[in-house]
Amino acid sequence: MHTMLKMTAAALAIVAANTGSTFAADLSGDFKIFLDTSNPAPRATMEKMIGDFQTLHPDLKIETTVIDREAYKTQIRNFLTANAPDVATWYAANRMRPYVEAGLFEDVSDLWAEPAIADNLASTKGAMTIDGKQWGVPYTYYQWGVYYRKDIFDELGLSEPTNWEEEKANCQKIIDSGRKCYTIGSKFLWTAGGWFDYMNMRTNGFDFHMDLLTGQASWESDEVRKTFANWRELIDMGAFIDNHASYSWQEALPFMVKGDATAYLMGNFAVAPLRDAGLTDDQLDFYQFVEINPDVELAEDAPTDTFHIPSNATNKEAAREFLRYVASADVQTWINDGKNLGQLPVNAQSSVDKDKFLEQGFEMLSTNSPGGVAQFFDRDAPAEMAKVAMEGLQEFMVKPDNLDKILSRLERARGRIYKN
């Protein structure tokens, strides 16, 4: 797609007012953008956003290339090396590490020193930082947390828990009522990864969790064993649905819809199918995963999509201005609203749709996650380690007595994978 727009000064003023951007006509030259937002709604959103940026900078010759998301993953190293665009989409944290370490992404720490970004995108600074420098800007993320049946909580006289003891006390009352506390489908492993993320971050904190997933901490450490000991308390109670390893995450939804289980630790994408299955917002609610260790700050899983400047870009001045634009409050409000991406803006000055789950998620991530934002187990760990580890996490949920063998296996994998 080639976007070339010419507009009147009045129209430019309207766009600038609506986006909160300052019109700067001095940007010129060719400007190439590569996107992996190939599904129809995200593609249309990105193309409209780029069109608005073009309107603000009419002397730029913008060329946008949209690549299927799976194909993009296999092509990114080649195009960053051989024929780099000026801006490219990707993901935060460990998923950007290979390209940072290969020298293929530009250091944009100068942008993160600007108050508009430093003050308003602070929740994701850790996820954008490698070796003390920042390598891109986020444009969207979504919350994880506990979605639960408020009507069943009300029936049992339960309130939202805030700490581990309250969580377990609630769970026991739920079990006593003949229900399971949590539904989960661990057939495809990553849902067990989500549980480990929260158990480990709440037990040992964000920094230790990142050290573990980047190979700097041992799977056989006392800290990791404490995480599994906490997790096992729920397993031994019978908190999870039976035979969860035979279900996908979608196949586990009916247990919550029918009231056989009362809660689901999941990303916000679970809300739509729960509503489609007939649960109303009066029946469904959300709370932040509870505190386990009061000595560690609360950190959250919030997978984050990002824009980067390739090191081999040719128009880095325009690329930096584009990253400022994408990071701005009004642009993030617009691209993330329900008609577009339907997710959460990262900019703390943005606003969200009048949807109670988006509002709760935005509040949680913007103001009540001082410990940092993780990207999710299989984004924060290298792919090979993630696969081996999540197999072990699923096995633990089914056969917790195998813990020593599992941890020994994961520690051997750590020695092999990170060395390579």
Q: Is residue 286 part of a domain?
A: yes
Percent of the chain with pLDDT over 90: 83
40-73 pLDDT, tens digit each: 889 999 999 999 999 999 999 999 999 998 899 8
pTM for this structure? 0.83
Residue 58 CA to residue 85 CA, distance in Å, equals: 19
Question: Residue 378: exposed, middle, or buried by beta-carbon count in 10 A (0-12, 13-18, 19+)?
Answer: buried
Angle at which helices 190-204 and 222-237 cross, to 10°: 120
Are residue 307 and residue 275 in the same domain, yes or no? no
Provide the mean pLDDT of the chain: 92
pLDDT digits (tens, 9 = 90+) for 152-170: 999 999 999 999 999 999 9
Range of the domain at 51: 2-141+303-372
- Over the stretch 136-151, which tens digit does the pLDDT of each residue have? 999 999 999 999 999 9
Residue 367 lies in a domain: yes
pLDDT of residue 52: 97
Q: How confident is the model at residue 280 (pLDDT cuts 50, 70, 90)?
A: very high
How would residue 342 be classed by pLDDT, with cut points 50, 70 and 90? Answer: confident
**Nearest-angstrom CA–CA distance, 125 and 338:** 25
Residue 377 lies in a domain: no
Do 342 and 357 fall into the same domain?
yes
Q: How far is CA 303 from CA 240, 379, 389, in A?
A: 24, 8, 19
Query: Helix, strand or coil for residue 87?
Result: strand
Tell me the CATH number at 148. 3.40.190.10
* Predicted local distance difference test score (pLDDT) of residue 367: 86
Q: What does the pLDDT look like over 215-268, one tens digit per residue?
A: 999 999 999 999 999 999 999 999 999 999 999 999 999 999 999 999 999 999
Nearest-CA neighbor of 46 among 348, 336, 338? 336
Q: Are residues 216 and 115 in the same domain?
A: no
